[in-house]
Structure 1
């Protein structure tokens, strides 16, 4: 583990940029960016186009360590290069931004009101590659659709089980048990989730360092108790389908909760914009998210 990166994640101001759209969400991300499905013939061409988009973001003069702590990368992005450097090395060596890798393989069908992660059979091999690519941490997402105690316990059990293996391999995992913003009983689901997390934190060794990526809660500052736990490096918030304005407004009400936005970060960016237009819009987006993250 890179201790300089760990101290940065613990103590510095800023937020995490989520650049980790997977195969399932990439067509939508490209369409929003102005590239329709007709522009690519297969998955290889699709991922090449999305890497161009991500590279444009990473290389922008607006994308700097003064406001961005880390960036979450998709597996294919980790293995591709930006200006002749692997993406993780470009982020850290050139930009001073900590590289994090999405490791989950997507979601299972809904059961007991939640979507667990699909199995990750190649996790050990993926972590070995991630170490070669100088990745600091990982991220894995599951989704809570309703306040179902059995389902929520299953999600937290799974997240912690895999997180312990990731910690043992030398990384800081981000656990992401997302509560769907459209859940009819979101507040109750968050209460169940919080209690499960608190119980599971008691099972960690003293030197185990983890992070959480959580939906902005219905009750302001709801996760302060978890933030104070010595095993927790940081809690970051996902935008979850809220617009950037909504996400920032809700985030700013939660002290020490910082952003890890994807759609809200790239909202408004377009492949046809000039470099000046693109950089100016990205700069305003980053500044607004940074401001909400340091309230």
Structure 2
């Protein structure tokens, strides 16, 4: 019942998906950007305490509302913590009607064939079962593409779709994220190969199955329209990938039908040192800018 309500929210609602899922490797950088330096914590537990405090501050902000925010992607540690006395996913869905997703990948393997596939996920079933204890709607997993290698990109996409099928079998919605590095000097060549590979792999799904796609903003306006319109794609969301929020939103506006799922660009300008009012004003500006770009 909740899943169907969430499905309709994502399918028909307006807004964007906030990516609040920095994990072990990217957390120190995210905290540094937030004004919390490495000497403020001396172990992983203390580090995750700090980042949870930041995320809870964002989520409990009045301006973090379901009029403009459709969903939020969580890290496993965040899912297992509480916000306002409730498990994070329950708080988001029950109190805010914002759809929770869970990051499930375990990071990237070494670079080969111009790509980084995902590391093995031997405990994925256990993690998915854990997610089902909460009102989690879907998952997210990331690979990275650097070069226009047909074999490498096919490896990335095939792995993503193999894992997506495992996730679908558990009754959750997978977000497939084959990111293209924005600094690739052959970015558009990568996009051409990636789109072909995704279209091919979508055909491997059953007629009643759908996935979501999280893609780097393309060089050519409207380039992913065929994927946006595809019956086996629930939604195409865009990652900011290192673009500033201004640049990411400008590019997003050139791609009607795509909505944002920004991480760094979303939290840009936030600082632990800000007063609650300054913090709220900063996050409201960010939410509004990203929402307006996602509405087009």
TM-score range, shorter chain: over 0.9
TM-fit CA distance, 1:231: 1.2
TM-fit CA distance, 1:228: 1.2
Number of the residue aligned with 2:120: 119
Unaligned runs of 5+ in 1: none
- CA–CA separation in structure 1 for the residues paired with 2:244 and 2:110: 26
- CA–CA separation in structure 1 for the residues paired with 2:168 and 2:232: 11
- SS at structure 2 position matched to 1:283: helix
Deviation per CA, 1:165-190: give whole Å up to 9, x if none: 10010000000000000011000000
- SS at structure 2 position matched to 1:261: coil
TM-fit CA distance, 1:144: 0.1
- CA–CA separation in structure 1 for the residues paired with 2:161 and 2:222: 23
Deviation per CA, 1:12-42: give whole Å up to 9, x if none: 1100000000000000000110000000010
1:65-214, aligned counterparts within 5 Å?
65-214=66-215
Number of the residue aligned with 2:275: 274
TM-fit CA distance, 1:284: 0.5
Number of the residue aligned with 2:65: 64
- CA–CA separation in structure 1 for the residues paired with 2:222 and 2:93: 31
Number of the residue aligned with 2:242: 241
Number of the residue aligned with 1:3: 4
- CA–CA separation in structure 2 for the residues paired with 1:129 and 1:209: 22
- CA–CA separation in structure 2 for the residues paired with 1:162 and 1:92: 25
Number of the residue aligned with 1:224: 225
The answer on 1:36 being equivalent to 2:50 is: no
- CA–CA separation in structure 1 for the residues paired with 2:256 and 2:135: 31
Q: TM-score, normalised by structure 1?
A: 0.99
Deviation per CA, 1:257-291: give whole Å up to 9, x if none: 10000000000000010000000010010000000
Number of the residue aligned with 1:53: 54
Deviation per CA, 1:20-72: give whole Å up to 9, x if none: 00000000000110000000010000000000000000000110000000000
- CA–CA separation in structure 1 for the residues paired with 2:204 and 2:48: 39
Runs of 4 or more, structure 1, over 2 Å off, are none
- SS at structure 2 position matched to 1:200: helix
Task: Give the CA RMSD over aligned residues.
Answer: 0.6
Unaligned runs of 5+ in 2: none
Aligned residue-pair number: 295
- CA–CA separation in structure 2 for the residues paired with 1:13 and 1:121: 36
- CA–CA separation in structure 2 for the residues paired with 1:32 and 1:135: 28
Number of the residue aligned with 2:262: 261
- CA–CA separation in structure 1 for the residues paired with 2:134 and 2:82: 11
